[in-house]
């Protein structure tokens, strides 16, 4: 009887400890989510404040930088497509060379016989 009571107490202790850790973990996750949301809102507020204090020159400089970035983006897109096409051409070339090598080896075998 005493051993059963001790086992029940140990079992309840382990269950309560595991339940307490899950409660602490969920509270920690909730706090982290709230903290992340608060940091995001603060960063957004700072960005809005900086834009509201910007002058016309700042907007023009930002517009020029955006135009420069867009031109760089189009160049990168062009070079990415060009690189892809060159790789594709190399694959086709290697396949053609392999097929031609097979044909040549077959012709050599036929000529030896």
Question: Using one digit for the tens of pLDDT, what is the confidence trace for 10-58?
Answer: 556 555 655 555 655 667 777 788 888 888 888 888 888 777 776 777 7
Query: Quick check: 63 pLDDT over 80?
Result: yes
Q: Which residue has the higher pLDDT, 61 or 21?
A: 61
Q: Please count the structural domains in the chain.
A: 2
CA distance 40 to 60: 27
> Which of 25, 53, 81 delimits the end of a domain?
53
pLDDT at position 52: 73
Q: Are residues 42 and 10 in the same domain?
A: yes
Q: Which residue has the higher pLDDT, 29 or 82?
A: 82
CA dihedral 8, 9, 11, 17 (to 10 degrees): 160
CA nearest 64: which of 53, 52, 72? 72
Structure tokens that stand for 28 in this block: 């920690």
CA nearest 54: which of 66, 41, 63? 63
Its pTM surpasses 0.75: no
- Determine the structural domain holding residue 69 and report its residue range: 55-113
Q: Are residues 31 and 46 in the same domain?
A: yes
CA distance 68 to 72: 6
């Amino acid at each position: 009887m005493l051993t059963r009571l001790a086992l029940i107490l140990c079992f309840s202790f382990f269950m309560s400890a595991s339940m307490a850790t899950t409660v602490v973990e969920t509270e920690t996750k909730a706090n982290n989510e709230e903290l992340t949301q608060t940091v995001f809102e603060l960063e957004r507020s700072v960005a809005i404040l900086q834009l509201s204090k910007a002058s016309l020159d700042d907007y023009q400089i930002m517009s020029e930088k955006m135009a420069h970035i867009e031109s760089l983006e189009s160049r990168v897109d062009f070079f990415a497509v060009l690189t892809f096409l060159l790789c594709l051409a190399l694959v086709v070339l290697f396949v053609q060379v392999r097929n031609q090598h097979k044909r040549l080896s077959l012709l050599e075998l036929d000529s030896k016989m």
